Amino acid sequence: MTHNGTLSDNTGEGFASLPLTPGQIFYRIPYLFLQKAKDRVQDAWESVAPVIDTLKKEARHHDIKGEEAASFTCEDGSRVEISTTVSDLWIKAEAADPAPASPFQKIDTLIKGLKKPAYKYICEKTRVLAFPLVSGTWGDTVKGFIGLDAGSISINIAFVDEAGVVFETDYTLTEGDVINNIKKAFSRLSAKLPANIDILGSGVTGSGHEISSALLGADVYETELDAHAEATLHLLPDTQVIFDIGGQDSKVMYIEDGELEEAGMNKKCGAGTGSFLDAQADRLGIPIEKFGETGLKAKKPYSFSSMCTVFVGRDLIAEQAKGNTKENIIAGLHRSLAMNFYATLGINKKHLKTPIAFQGGVASNIGVKKSLEDLLCEARGEKLELYVPMHHKVMGAIGMALFARDEVEERGSFRGIETIQGITSEFTECTRAQELGCNKTMLCDLVHLSRGGEVVQTLYACDAYAATPMAPSAERSAQ
C-alpha cells in the first residue's frame, strides 16, 4: 500500500503531529508497558540518557526541563528537541544547511544500540517514511496488523506492528452509520501512517463485526471480552482484574494464569456507563472532558439518594435549585457511577485480586477513577490504585490486531485501505424469495457491498441465497 504519510503520533500531541520537512529527522521510542505513566516516561528518558549526554557536549546551548522536554542548539545552528506524549518519546533533529555528520550520526548510532523498539522517520520528496529498528539496523518497512472494534458508540482502529507496538490508533464516532464511519476512520488512520506501511492481516470485534468483517476482508473475529482482555494483558501483563466502562456498557473481567477466566457485563442500566455522565454533563453545561478535574475540586461531594439515572437527574436539578456547587454535584455523580458499577456487576470489592486495570472511554475521567479507588479503599481498609493502560479507549481494536498477529501465518485477506474506501453499500430487500422457494410473506433485508459497480459481497443472506447463483438479469437488477 502507498499513500502520502504525514508524521503524527497516536495522541495528536506535541511537535510529532506536524508534517516532516526535508532536513528533519524524527526518532520515536515507544514506552515500555509499565503500570504507571510516570514510570513509562522515566524509563524512556533513561534509555536516551547517552543521547542527552552527547548533545550536552556538542551543543552551545541546551535547555532541559526535567522529564518533560529538552532542546539543544549546536555550533552550526542545528537543533535537536526531545518531547514526550502519552505513549512515546520523540527526538526531532533539524540540521543546518549543509547537514553535518555530527551530532546527528552519533544520535543515530546511539539509538540503533537500544535494546527496545525504536523508529526513524524521514521525508522523501512528498512522502514520510518510517524505519523500524531491527537487530541494530533500520528495516525497510513497518509491518503489522489492523484491529477494528465497530461498536454502537464508536469505531476504533489500531495498527499494531510485528514487535507488538501500538503504532497508530483512531477513535471515530459511529453516528448510526457503521460503513461510512469505518471508511472515515480508515481515512484518518491512513493520514497518520507512514507511506511504507505493510498490513499483513486484520481482525474485528464489536456489535458491527459482521459488516466490518466483510468490508475489511478480515481474517479473525473474537468477542469483545476476549479482545479487551487480550489487549490489557499485552499492555499490562500482570493484571488480575479488568474494569472496563464504555459509553453504553460496563464490564468486569477476571484473569487467571494470564487468561480470561470469567467476566460480567452490564447492558441493562446506563447509570454505570459513560452515557450516564454525558447526560448529566449536558444538564450542567460542562464539557465531559472537564468533568474529572472539576469534580476533584469539590469541598463536599453530594450524596445522591438513588443510583438510577432517572432519579439522579431529578436530584441534580433539585440541588442546582438549592445553590449547591457544580463541583459538589459532579463529585457526587462520579461516586454514584462507581457505586452502580460495583453493584450491578456484583463485584465483591474485598476479594478482588490486584493489580486491577481500568480502561474504556470513562477511564479518561480522573474523578471516576478516584471514586472507584475510594470505594475499594473503604471496603478493604487499604489504599489501592487502579492502573490505566496506554490507549485505554481503543482496547478492543488493539486486542483484535494482536489476535491477527498471532493467527495469520501468511499474508491475510485484508482488502487494503484504498480498496475499502472505494466500497459502497446498498440496503435492499431480497427479490429472490419465489426463485429460492422461500414462500415468505416478509422479504429478508440484505446489504450489497459493491466496488466499481460489481457486488463483492452480500450480507445477511440465507444459505439458499448464497448457494444458488443469481441469474444474470437479476444480478444486474440488484446492482
In DSSP terms, which residues pair with 221 in a beta bridge? 204
pTM (2 decimals)? 0.87
288 φ/ψ angles, rounded to the nearest 5 degrees: -60, -25
The CA distance from 52 to 58, in Å, is: 10
> What pLDDT is recorded for position 13?
42
Which cell is 425 given? 453499500
pLDDT tens digits, 393-407: 999 999 999 999 999
Residues 6+ apart with CB under 8 A from 49: none
The strands making up 79-84's β-sheet, listed across from edge to edge, are 59-65, 69-74, 79-84, 88-94, 24-30, 119-124, 127-134, 137-138
Q: Within 13 Å and on the Cβ side, how many CA atoms surround 218?
A: 26
Closest CA to 405 of 186, 238, 213, 158: 158
Residue 213 in contact with residue 221, Cβ under 8 Å? yes
Residue 91 in contact with residue 98, Cβ under 8 Å? no
Low-confidence residues of the chain, pLDDT below 70? Answer: 1-20, 22, 96-102, 267-272, 305-310, 439-442, 469-479
The CA distance from 282 to 277, in Å, is: 9
224 φ/ψ angles, rounded to the nearest 5 degrees: -60, -45
Output the furthest CA–CA distance in the chain (Å, rounded): 85
Closest CA to 91 of 122, 61, 60, 137: 122
Closest CA to 203 of 137, 148, 140: 148
SS3 377: helix
> What pLDDT is recorded for position 7?
42
> What pLDDT is recorded for position 372?
96
Compute how many other C-beta atoms are within 10 angstroms of the C-beta atom of residue 261.
11
| Integer angstrom CA distances of residue 461 from 7, 447, 458 | 42, 8, 7
Compute how many other C-beta atoms are within 10 angstroms of the C-beta atom of residue 314.
14
> What pLDDT is recorded for position 15?
47
102 φ/ψ angles, rounded to the nearest 5 degrees: -130, 140
DSSP string, 326-375: HHHHHHHHHHHHHHHHHHHTT--GGG--S-EEEESGGGG-HHHHHHHHHH
Residue 98 in contact with residue 71, Cβ under 8 Å? no
| Integer angstrom CA distances of residue 3 from 10, 19, 138, 196 | 18, 14, 21, 8
Say if residue 355 is preceded by a cis peptide, omega within 30 of 0.
yes
Using a 10 angstrom Cβ sphere, with 0-12 exposed, 13-18 middle and 19 or more buried, the burial of residue 232 is buried
> What pLDDT is recorded for position 60?
86
pLDDT tens digits, 435-453: 777 866 667 888 888 888 7
> What pLDDT is recorded for position 368?
93
Residue indicated by cell numbers 535494546 = 115
SS3 387: strand
